[in-house]
Amino acid sequence: MTERSGNIYANIPAAATDEVFEDLVRTEGARFERIVSTGQATPEGEWYDQGWDEFVILLAGEAGLAFEATGQTHTLTPGAWHVIPAHCRHRVAWTSHNSPAVWLAVHLGPATG
């Protein structure tokens, strides 16, 4: 693969109806994705259930990340990271309205959606 670069804060949508998902780059073993949330949440009762491990870090804004197994919702501030193992059901409970929540998600493995 070749050298690639960018800035994760470039062209942040100030507000959008939906969350904005964008691949920054794919490597052989991982997909690097930027997610920008402006108040959205995973629909009530819906859970992400992925077949691969994910590392996610919140870089700006605030968010609540909920896990079905524990019933807990973690409040994330900038710098907070979580490793979400494959099939660990989780949802975004809330995200900040006034300042966009910017996430970097690293999806690991050969089949990452």
Token duo for residue 80: 């907070």
Q: Could you say whether residue 29 binds a second copy (CB under 8 A)?
A: yes
Of 108, 107, 88, 99, nearest in space to 48 by CA = 88
14: left (phi over 0), alpha (psi -120 to 50) or beta: alpha
- Closest separation between CB of residue 90 and a second copy, Å? 9
Site size toward a second copy (CB under 8 A) is: 37
Q: Could you say whether residue 111 binds a second copy (CB under 8 A)?
A: no
- Are the CB atoms for 88 and 22 separated by under 8 Å? no
Q: Could you say whether residue 30 binds a second copy (CB under 8 A)?
A: yes
- Closest separation between CB of residue 6 and a second copy, Å? 6
The amino acid at residue 70 is T
Residues that bind a second copy (CB under 8 A): 1-10, 24-25, 27-30, 32, 53, 55, 57, 59, 67, 74, 77-85, 88, 104, 106, 108-109
